[in-house]
Amino acid sequence: MLRETLSMVRDLPRLHEITSVLIRYGWGDFVRLLGIANLLERAGRLLHWKTTNEITQLDLPVRIRLALTELGPSFVKLGQILATRVDVFPASWIVEFEKLHSNVPPVPFELLQGELERGLGDSVDNVFLAFDREPFAAASIAQVHRARLPDGVAVVVKIRRPDIHAKIDADLRILTHLARLMELEMPDMRRYRVVQIVSQLQRSLLRELDLAKEARNLEAFAKNFENDTSVHIPRVYWEYCSETVNVQEELIGIPGSQIARAEAEGFDLKLLAERGGNAVLKMILLDGYFHADPHPGNVIYLPGNVIGLIDFGMVGRVTDSRREQLIDFLQALIQKNESGMLNVLTAWAGDVEIDEERLAYDISELIFGYDNLGLKDIHLGALLNEVTALMRDNQLTLPPDLTLLFKALITLEGLGHQLDPDFHMVDQLTPFVSQVLEARYSPKALAKRAKNGVSEMAEIFFGLPRDIARLFRRARSGRLRIDLDLKRLDHFGQQLNSAANRLTMGVLTASLVVGSSIIMTVEGGPELFGLPFFGLLGFIVAFFNSVWIVLSIWRSGKV
């Protein structure tokens, strides 16, 4: 508790900045509800509760996007993660969050040069044959410059923005604290797993801050596609890479957003759509490691109708167990199997209380809408959007790893439709699902699962006597302990402790008043202003105690 308190005091300037922006964009009630304003006002950082009329006339999603943009890299990344939460936010919100992918103003190279040369271990002119000091692209955490290595190879140099680490650390501490407060003070927010979202943000930011991590991601994907000539992953030049600098091959081709140009230059758009879909489905269903942000800005069309992929800062992983669930879900979607979809969705919901009857009815309604459609008429992106809307209506949320995956599939199908109006992800999905199912039920896979199951059962059986003996030993020695994790219990204890302190001070104050009144009636002893000194002192102390109690109650919002 002491460490958390000291941390909040250290972060007060940043907390004041965040709170001021939230209030300016119309989130004053939210700030009051969490009690942040009381903390800042007690610290002497008074807030101005003003929201301009121009801002209040904007739609709520627009105001949130503008606030996140103004608050900087951590909050921009938070908005990008929220853009994947199609299971929580309606389409109008997702559209605004997706705008946070746009470029941000670049940093002058002079401010980056020191960071770059520390990462390279030498001066820019000594390392590169040529270096373009005008940025090629700028993002919230790093910006990119074109350059040429001594052998003339064209590369892009990604440089982390200076002094960004400390600010992001402070933002993460504040967001973690606020997320816990939200789940404590607003029970309805618990189903959105706010603490889990902030934890996901923390992992994502720490990965992106380490530019060497992105280089390792590039190498992992390159290895997965080393036998596939239809997909190209940039080469990493490790001798120039560090935590703050990433040097990789420049892919020279047509950006994914310039489809008309690609068509004019003779690219086969249908083939590009097919290859892009196959690449992402292979990542998800076969490799279990996928590019989580395949939007047009991260795709390059290369000669020979080759798909080039860049920016591997945001990647997703699919565990074996999650992949099994995903295959079951996709199989149920393709086969229009209601009970199969129900089983998977209830598994994804975790320990949240579910109205299974209503959920089953909603799934039946969803399936009925696609009952007479063939595979070629089903748009996977629209179907996934309907599934996530169904989950929102039933107050269910997807696990964070699946939100990234769903978003990647929806984004990919949108890009495929831009290339080929007849593109259908389901057509490409079916062979992958069949391939995975065949592998799942192959004799080798069944034998492996049987062996693992027997091993686990044997471990449980032979370990049971040891576990029972340990349980009894702890019971005999009085060291048997049962941990209960009850929501809001710590918060309730703090409130109870605060109330007890105020009650104790009230009793002491009353005692001082009674004792001082008695002393006032006794003659003799030292006097001050013609009154007994100790009686007057008691009244003064009682007065200040009373003021403290009144202020304490007022600050707690109980008046």
Domain CATH code at residue 129: 3.30.200.20
Range list of β-strands (E), 464-529: 527-528
Which pLDDT value is given to residue 376?
Answer: 62
229 shares a domain with 131: yes
Amino acid making up residue 471: L
Residue where one domain finishes, among candidates 233, 250, 267: 250
Please state the domain count of the chain: 5
Which pLDDT value is given to residue 4?
Answer: 45
Q: At residue 283, what are phi and psi to the nearest 5 degrees?
A: -55, -45
Q: At residue 319, what are phi and psi to the nearest 5 degrees?
A: -70, 165
227 shares a domain with 150: yes
State the Cα–Cα distance between residues 101 and 90, nearest whole angstrom.
Answer: 18
**pLDDT 10s per residue in the chain (559 long)?**
334 444 555 667 777 778 888 777 777 766 666 666 555 555 445 555 555 566 767 788 888 888 888 888 888 888 877 887 776 777 788 888 878 765 567 888 898 899 899 998 899 999 999 999 999 888 778 889 999 999 999 999 999 988 788 788 888 888 888 888 777 767 767 666 778 778 877 887 888 888 888 899 999 999 999 999 999 999 999 999 999 999 999 999 999 889 999 999 999 999 999 998 899 888 888 888 888 877 788 899 999 999 999 988 778 888 888 888 888 887 787 677 888 888 888 887 776 677 888 888 888 888 877 766 665 666 777 777 788 788 878 877 777 777 778 778 878 888 888 888 888 777 777 777 777 777 777 777 677 777 777 777 877 777 778 878 787 777 777 776 766 555 555 555 666 666 677 677 777 777 777 777 777 676 666 777 667 777 777 778 777 777 777 766 666 654 3
Collect all residues with Cβ–Cβ distance below 8 Å to 263 and sequence separation of at least 6: 269
412 shares a domain with 331: yes
CA 367 to chain CA centroid, nearest Å: 31
Residue 230 lies in a domain: yes
Residue 263 lies in a domain: no
Distance (Å) of CA 473 to CA 467, 478, 483, 492: 10, 9, 18, 34
128 shares a domain with 70: no
DSSP 345-399: HHHHHTTS---HHHHHHHHHHHHHHTTT--GGG--HHHHHHHHHHHHHHTT----
Residue 503 lies in a domain: yes
Distance (Å) of CA 200 to CA 15, 335, 435: 21, 33, 31
505 shares a domain with 462: no
Residue with tokens 């032979």: 462
453 shares a domain with 430: no
Token readout for 67 is 């606030």
| Residue 194: closest CA among 209, 181, 179 | 179
3-state secondary structure of 307: strand
3-state secondary structure of 229: coil
State the Cα–Cα distance between residues 258 and 273, nearest whole angstrom.
Answer: 14
454 shares a domain with 437: no
State the Cα–Cα distance between residues 166 and 282, nearest whole angstrom.
Answer: 38
Residue 55 lies in a domain: yes
Residue 260 lies in a domain: no
Token readout for 334 is 């393709």
Catalytic-role residue among 87, 171, 293, 328: 293
| Residue 323: closest CA among 399, 223, 389 | 399
Token readout for 413 is 């199908």
Q: Is the distance from CB of 349 to CB of 396 less than 8 angstroms?
A: yes
Collect all residues with Cβ–Cβ distance below 8 Å to 285 and sequence separation of at least 6: 323, 326, 327, 432, 433, 435, 436
The secondary structure element, H or E, covering residue 165 is helix 164-185
Distance (Å) of CA 54 to CA 59, 93, 97, 256, 269: 11, 20, 20, 36, 44
Which pLDDT value is given to residue 37?
Answer: 57
401 shares a domain with 362: yes
110 shares a domain with 30: no
Give Dmax (Cα) for the chain.
110
Residue with tokens 């994947």: 84
CA 170 to chain CA centroid, nearest Å: 16
Which pLDDT value is given to residue 373?
Answer: 62
Residue 363 lies in a domain: yes
Residue 50 lies in a domain: yes
Token readout for 11 is 């972060």
Which pLDDT value is given to residue 209?
Answer: 84
129 shares a domain with 39: no
State the Cα–Cα distance between residues 183 and 488, nearest whole angstrom.
Answer: 9
Residue 292 lies in a domain: no
485 counts as catalytic: no
49 shares a domain with 86: yes
The whole domain housing 351 covers 318-443
Residue where one domain finishes, among candidates 212, 230, 250: 250
- 316: which DSSP letter? E
Which pLDDT value is given to residue 145?
Answer: 94
17 shares a domain with 113: no
